[in-house]
Amino acid sequence: MTSHLHALTFDANDPARLARFWAGFLGWETTHDPYGAIALLPHDDTGFRIRFLPTQEQKAGPNQTHFDMTSKSPEDQQQTVAKALELGARHIDIGQRPEEGHVVLADPEGNEFCVVGPGNNFLADCGFIGALACDGSQEEGYFWSRALGWPLVWDQDQETAIRSPHGGPKVTWGGPPLLPKTGKNRLHFDIAPPADGDQQAEVDRLVSLGAKRLDIGQGEVGWVVMADPDGHEFCVLPPGL
């Protein structure tokens, strides 16, 4: 049996502050986390939590994963941007063009996210969080489709996307050219086998799909740190979470 996407985890210099921003922006509530992180629980069909873990490392360069938020109308887009700014976000310029129709922002620790304008057919019916947009190869999309058991919903020109059969956001990979990786990613996936699953068996399965185990100095912990085919870190948690 495949694992499920338990959470998207942020490394944060101030986890409490970053959690307050995203809780206020998304309207999610905090929930218990067995590993001492600050965790937010979705109130919609997003399907995964957002967790915030402390780090001393400062952000260096653009993240390789970001949220694409959706809008129902131009007014709705403006209100979403205004809400984010009021909570502590700021406008940033990453070379976007006005005709692209989306607003690029950064949260209080500089993590990029986009507020996409209305009428985006690709993100239709995906909810407020339309997508987790990732820098990654076609092989990456194939890996995560098999790892999570989510079908491919886009596979064209080396760009891929998957989506849970239960709905919620898409996870997309933009294909080449890929950004150079500069140290550990600030955002990573936490996945977990089902309650009747086996962590080691799942690690072995993921290795057979192209992942590898990593040592990032985690020591003796209850989760296994791995890297997907593009070298992006993720964690396999114990079953049942």
- The model's pTM is 0.95
What's the pLDDT tens digit per position in 113-163? 999 999 999 999 999 999 999 999 999 999 999 999 999 999 999 999 999
What mean pLDDT comes out for the span 226-241? 95
- At residue 99, the pLDDT reads 66
- At residue 195, the pLDDT reads 93
Query: DSSP string of 122-163?
Result: GGTTS-SEEEEEE---HHHHHHHHHHHTPPEEEEETTEEEEE
Contact call for residues 191 and 234 (beta carbons, < 8 A): yes
What's the pLDDT tens digit per position in 168-220? 999 999 999 998 888 899 999 999 999 999 999 999 999 999 999 999 888 88
What's the pLDDT tens digit per position in 54-111? 999 999 889 999 999 999 999 999 999 999 999 999 999 877 766 677 899 999 999 9
